Structure 1
Amino acid sequence: MSTPTEAPRKGADAPVSKTNQVFKSCWSCRMLSGGGLILSGAYVYSIARRVMRQGGPTSMGTVAQITFAACLAAWGVVIVTDPVGRELKRT
């Protein structure tokens, strides 16, 4: 037993979260959330491109919008591919 002044130990005694495991093993959940992020990135990018096609000036806001769209799409790709979960399964 640990005393009240002692911090709880991390290690083999720590329980593993079941919800975290379920999300990582659920292919349809990853596809739905990752696909949603990729599509939202495409939407944000198309809005920024529409302003540029209409002859509007390329401002810092438009550049930030395109950067944000790229980040959304990259986040979606990471969720779909799950590189960390795949690496943990190999070891």
Structure 2
Amino acid sequence: MAPEDAGSASRASPAKGPFWSCLSCRLISGAALIGSGVWVYLGPRKIMQQRRVPPNMWQVTQITFAFGLICWGVVVMIDPAGKLKKDVK
């Protein structure tokens, strides 16, 4: 291995894993996260509708966590970090 090859290899950006290059893997895992977020959201929502009471702190925490799961699923599906590639010359 020539010395100039070793220097260029250390400057190269690390390659993404095989998971992020697979569209079907991203769609399945993103859909699973969105589905779990909807399931978590429907728990406290059902209680609030049945009892006709305002949400308590635990229910607000569950709903916030559910929206976090849904957003995470959307981010996994669209993969915005993979589209922001810098051209280094």
* TM-score (structure 1 length as normaliser): 0.75
What is aligned with 1:27? 23
Unaligned runs of 5+ in 2: 1-7
Secondary structure, aligned partner of 1:58: coil
Could you tell me how far apart the structure 2 residues matched to 1:28 and 1:84 are?
A: 17
Report whether the alignment pairs 1:64 with 2:61: yes
Structure 2 counterparts to residues 45-84 of structure 1, below 5 A: 45-55=41-51, 56-84=53-81
Shift of 1:52: 0.3
What is aligned with 1:87? 84
What is aligned with 1:7? none
**Residue number among 21, 28, 39 corresponding to 1:43 in the alignment:** 39
With 21-30 and 48-57 compared, the bigger mean Cα shift is at: 48-57
Unaligned runs of 5+ in 1: 1-10
* TM-score (structure 2 length as normaliser): 0.76
Could you tell me how far apart the structure 2 residues matched to 1:25 and 1:83 are?
A: 13
| RMSD (Å) for aligned C-alpha atoms | 2.1
Letter paired with 1:47:
G
Q: Where in structure 1 do 4 or more consecutive aligned residues deviate above 3 Å?
A: 14-17
Could you tell me how far apart the structure 1 residues matched to 2:66 and 2:39 are?
A: 8
Could you tell me how far apart the structure 1 residues matched to 2:11 and 2:24 are?
A: 29
Would you say how many aligned residue pairs link Structure 1 and Structure 2? 78
